[in-house]
Amino acid sequence: MLTRRSRGQKTPYRDKVRAQIVLLAARRWSNTAIAAAVGVTVDTVRTWRGRFAAQGLAGLADRARSGRPSRFTPVQVAQVKALACQFPARAGVALSRWSCPELAREVVTQGVAEAMSASTVWRWLAREAIKPWQCRSWLFPRDPDFTAKAGRVLDLYERRWNGRRLGPDEFVISSDEKTSIQARCRCHPSLAPGRARMMRVNHEYERGGAVAYLAAYDVRQARVFGRCAPSTGIVPFMALVEQVMTAEPYVSAKRVFWVVDNGSSHRGQAAINRLAARFPNAVMVHTPVHASWLNQVEIFFSVVQRKVVSPNDFTNLDEVKQRLADFEQRYNATATPFQWKFTRRDLRDLLTRISDHERQDIPTELPHAA
C-alpha cells in the first residue's frame, strides 16, 4: 500500500510524501536524511513517523480540524438568504435583480452585519442554489383549445391524423417566417480566428437594410424550402406555398399538412380556406396561441441564426440572400430529421402541473364574520 502511494500518478502529493517518509524510515534512514531526500523539514518527518508508529496507515490521514471560528451567526446567514429571495424594490433598492456585491452592500446598510464580502454572500447562496441575478420567463396557456390544437400537431409529428396513421404519400410541412435579418456592414473587416485568438468582429457598422426569410421544413425528409422577401405577409407566404406545392412529391401527394403559428400571414379560418382553395390536397394546421415552440421550423431557424446570421457581417442584402440560399443546399445535403420527443403524454403532464400551480395561486376565501 505504501509503495503504491509513493509511486501512484494520481496519488495526492501530500499522501505520496508521507508514504515516502515511512518507507525510507523502514530502511533505517535518519530523520535528517529523510528530510533532505523528500524535501521537507525534520519536524515533518518526525511527525509522520510517530503517527505511523502509533496508528499505522490511519495515522497518515489528516486529522479533523476545527477551522477558524465563524464570524457570522446562523441568524445572519438566514437574513442574507431571505433578502436574496426578495425583490430589491421591497427593500427600497432601485434595482431589478440582486447581485452578490449589491447584496453585501445592502446587508451592511440594513445593519445585519458590520462588514461582509461579496464572496461570502456568493458562498452562502451557492449552498442553497439561490441565484437572484438570473431570470426565466414563463407564460400560461391562453388558448381555450390549447390541448386539442397542440395534440393535433404532436400527432402529425408521430405521423397520425384523427387516430389514423399517415400513408407514404402524405407529408407534414412546418413553416414560418424569420423576420428582420439585417445586413450589417462592419466599418472594419472582421478578423479570422488564429492561434489563441477567437474571431473578432468590429462593433461599429452601417445598416444595409433587412430582409424576411420564409422557410418550409419537411418534418419526415428533413428538407428545407426557403425564400427571401422584403417583408412578411399573405403574398410572400403564398409564394412559399406555391414553391413547395408545385414540386414533387407534394404536387401529387394525397395530403400535405402545413403546421403554422398564428402570425398575420396565415391566421384564422381565412388562411385555411385560402390554402385549400389554391391547393385542395393541402391542410393547414395551427399551433395554439403563444405556442410557436411546437413548430419544428423554429429549430431550423435557431440553426440559421447560429451558423449563418451570427456574427452579422454582410456588405448588402444580396449577400444575405445568397448566403441563406447556399446554406439551404448545404443543409439539405446532410440533414436528418429532428429527434422530436415531446408527445401527448408530456403535454398532459405539463398541463397538469400548470393547473396545479394555478390552483395554488388562487387565494382561499376567508370565512364571513359571525
Nearest to 61 by CA among 21, 20, 18: 18
Q: How confident is the model at residue 370, as a pLDDT?
A: 36
DSSP annotation of 305 reads I
**CB neighbourhood size of 208 (10 A):** 17
**Mean pLDDT to the nearest integer, 153-171:** 95
Q: What does the pLDDT read at residue 152?
A: 96
Cβ contact 153:286 at 8 Å: no
pLDDT band at 362 (very low <50, low <70, confident <90, very high): low
Residue 367 has pLDDT above 80, yes or no: no
pLDDT for 221 beyond 90: yes
Measuring CA to CA, how many Å separate 95 from each of 87, 106, 297, 360? 8, 12, 38, 29
The pTM is what? 0.73
Q: Using 50, 70 and 90 to split pLDDT, how confident is the model at 70?
A: confident
The C-alpha atoms of residue 335 and residue 148 are separated, in whole angstroms, by 31
Give yes or no for residue 22 having a pLDDT over 90.
Answer: yes
pLDDT score of 366 more than 70: no
* Cα distance between residue 147 and residue 135, in whole Å: 28
- Write out pLDDT tens, residues 123-153: 999 999 999 999 998 888 888 899 999 999 9
Kindly tell me if the per-residue pLDDT of 191 is higher than 70: yes
Question: Would you say residue 225 has pLDDT above 60?
Answer: yes
Q: What is the mean pLDDT of the chain?
A: 93
C-alpha cell at 227: 425564400
Contact 124, 71 (CB under 8 A): no
- Residue with cell string 500518478: 9
201 to 155, 194, 261: CA distances (angstroms)? 44, 14, 35
Q: What is the pLDDT of residue 360?
A: 79
Nearest to 59 by CA among 13, 22, 5: 22
- Name the percent of the chain lying above pLDDT 90: 86
User: What confidence tier does 69 reach under pLDDT thresholds 50, 70, 90?
Assistant: confident
- Position 160 pLDDT exceeds 90: yes
- pLDDT > 90? residue 364: no
pLDDT band for position 369 (50/70/90)?
Answer: very low
Residue 102 has pLDDT above 80, yes or no: yes
Quick one: pLDDT at residue 363?
55
pLDDT band at 159 (very low <50, low <70, confident <90, very high): very high
Is the pLDDT assigned to residue 261 strictly greater than 60?
yes
